[in-house]
C-alpha cells in the first residue's frame, strides 16, 4: 500500500510544491531566522553586558531570554499565519480556477484541509528551523526541555487556529483583500481586544466591590478570568508561569478563599479554540461549493 498516495492528495501535493520550491520561500526563511537570531543576540547582550554581570551568566537571565524568544516568535506567527491562509480560496476565485478545482474528484473537506495544511506547512518549517536558536538557552540552563516542547506544540496549535480563521474568511468573502483584513482584525481582537476587555471588567468589578455590602467570600468575581482564556499571549505565559492562572481568576483578591484557578488558562484556551476552529472549518466546507436557490 502506497501511504504517500493515501496521505498526499493532488491538491496538497501541488500546493506544497508551489510553496516550497519558490525562491521567495528561501528568502522568507532566511530573513525570518535572521530576525530571530538578531533578537536573540540582542537580548543576550542586554541581559549580560548591560547588567554588569561580566563573564558570568545567571540562569535567571537565560529564563528571561527564553521568555523573550517565545513571545517574539508568537508575534511573528500571529503576523504570518493569517497572511498565508487568508487568500487561498478567494485567490482561486479571483484567478477563476476555483470552478475547475471543484469539478475534480476531491471533496470539499479535502480541498479545505489540503489548503490549510499546505499553507501552514511552510510556517511549521520556519518554526522548527528556529530550534537551534533556542538551543542557545540550554547552554546556560534555567529552562527545561518540557517547557520548550510545550511551547512548540502551542505554536502549532495557534497556527491551526489562525489558519482556520483565514480559511473561513477566504471562503465566505469573495475578495482576498477583505478576507485578509477580516482575518487580521480577528487576530488583533483576540490578542489586544480580550486584554482590554479583561482590564475594563476588572476595574468595573473593583468599583462594585468597593461599594458592595456583600461579603467578599461570596462575591462571584472569579468568572472574569475566563476572558483571559481567549488571549493567546496570556495562554502562552501560563505555560511558562502557571501562577498567572490564579492571578487572572482573582483567586486571592477581595478576601476570597484563594482556592486557585478552576482550570489552567492554556488548557481552557485550547478547549475553546478547538471548538471555534472546528466550527470555522466546518462552515468553510459547507460554503465552498455554490448552492442553487431552491424555489418552493
For the chain, give every domain's residue range: 3-192+266-288
Who has greater pLDDT, 200 or 217?
Answer: 200
Who has greater pLDDT, 113 or 17?
Answer: 113
User: What would the pLDDT profile of 158-195 be if each residue is shown by its tens digit?
Assistant: 999 999 999 999 998 888 899 999 999 999 999 999 99
Where residue 4 falls among pLDDT bands split at 50, 70, 90? low
d(CA 130, CA 56): 25
Answer yes or no: is pLDDT of 80 > 80. Answer: yes
Backbone phi and psi for residue 199, each to the nearest 5 degrees, phi listed first: -70, -35
User: What would the pLDDT profile of 14-50 be if each residue is shown by its tens digit?
Assistant: 767 777 777 777 888 888 888 888 887 777 777 666 6
Where residue 293 falls among pLDDT bands split at 50, 70, 90? very low
For residue 57, the surrounding DSSP H or E stretch is none
**3-state DSSP assignment of residue 192:** helix
DSSP code, position 133? H
CA atoms in the 13 A half-sphere facing the CB of 105: 2
Return the pLDDT at 57: 56
Where residue 52 falls among pLDDT bands split at 50, 70, 90? low
Contact between 78 and 86 (Cβ < 8 Å): no
d(CA 104, CA 97): 12
Contact between 53 and 135 (Cβ < 8 Å): no
User: What would the pLDDT profile of 256-282 be if each residue is shown by its tens digit?
Assistant: 444 567 788 888 899 999 999 999 999
Instruction: Give the residue-averaged pLDDT of 124-129.
Output: 87
Cell numbers for 120, please give them: 501552514
Contact between 191 and 109 (Cβ < 8 Å): no
Answer yes or no: is pLDDT of 219 > 50. Answer: no
Cell numbers for 66, please give them: 527564553
Amino acid at each position: 500500500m502506497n501511504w504517500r498516495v493515501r496521505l498526499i492528495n493532488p491538491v496538497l501535493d501541488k500546493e506544497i510544491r508551489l510553496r516550497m520550491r519558490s525562491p521567495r520561500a528561501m528568502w522568507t526563511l532566511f530573513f525570518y531566522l535572521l530576525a530571530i537570531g538578531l533578537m536573540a543576540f540582542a537580548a543576550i547582550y542586554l541581559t549580560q553586558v548591560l547588567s554588569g554581570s561580566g563573564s558570568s551568566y545567571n540562569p535567571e537571565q537565560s529564563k528571561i531570554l527564553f521568555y523573550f524568544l517565545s513571545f517574539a516568535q508568537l508575534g511573528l506567527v500571529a503576523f504570518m499565519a493569517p497572511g498565508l491562509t487568508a487568500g487561498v480560496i478567494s485567490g482561486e476565485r479571483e484567478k477563476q480556477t476555483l470552478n475547475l478545482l471543484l469539478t475534480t474528484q476531491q471533496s470539499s473537506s479535502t480541498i479545505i484541509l489540503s489548503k490549510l495544511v499546505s499553507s501552514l506547512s511552510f510556517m511549521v518549517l520556519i518554526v522548527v528551523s528556529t530550534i537551534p536558536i533556542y538551543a542557545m538557552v540550554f547552554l546556560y540552563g534555567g529552562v527545561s526541555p518540557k517547557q520548550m516542547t510545550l511551547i512548540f506544540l502551542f505554536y502549532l496549535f495557534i497556527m491551526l487556529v489562525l489558519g482556520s480563521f483565514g480559511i473561513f474568511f477566504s471562503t465566505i468573502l469573495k475578495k482576498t483583500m477583505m478576507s485578509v483584513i477580516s482575518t487580521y482584525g480577528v487576530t488583533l481582537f483576540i490578542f489586544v481586544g480580550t486584554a482590554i476587555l479583561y482590564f475594563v471588567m476588572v476595574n468595573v468589578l473593583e468599583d462594585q466591590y468597593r461599594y458592595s455590602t456583600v461579603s467578599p467570600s461570596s462575591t462571584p468575581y472569579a468568572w472574569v478570568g475566563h476572558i483571559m482564556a481567549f488571549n493567546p499571549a496570556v495562554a502562552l505565559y501560563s505555560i511558562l508561569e502557571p501562577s498567572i492562572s490564579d492571578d487572572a481568576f482573582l483567586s486571592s483578591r477581595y478576601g476570597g478563599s484563594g482556592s486557585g484557578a478552576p482550570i489552567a488558562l492554556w488548557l481552557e484556551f485550547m478547549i475553546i479554540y478547538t471548538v471555534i476552529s472546528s466550527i470555522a472549518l466546518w462552515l468553510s466546507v459547507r460554503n465552498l461549493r455554490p448552492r442553487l436557490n431552491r424555489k418552493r
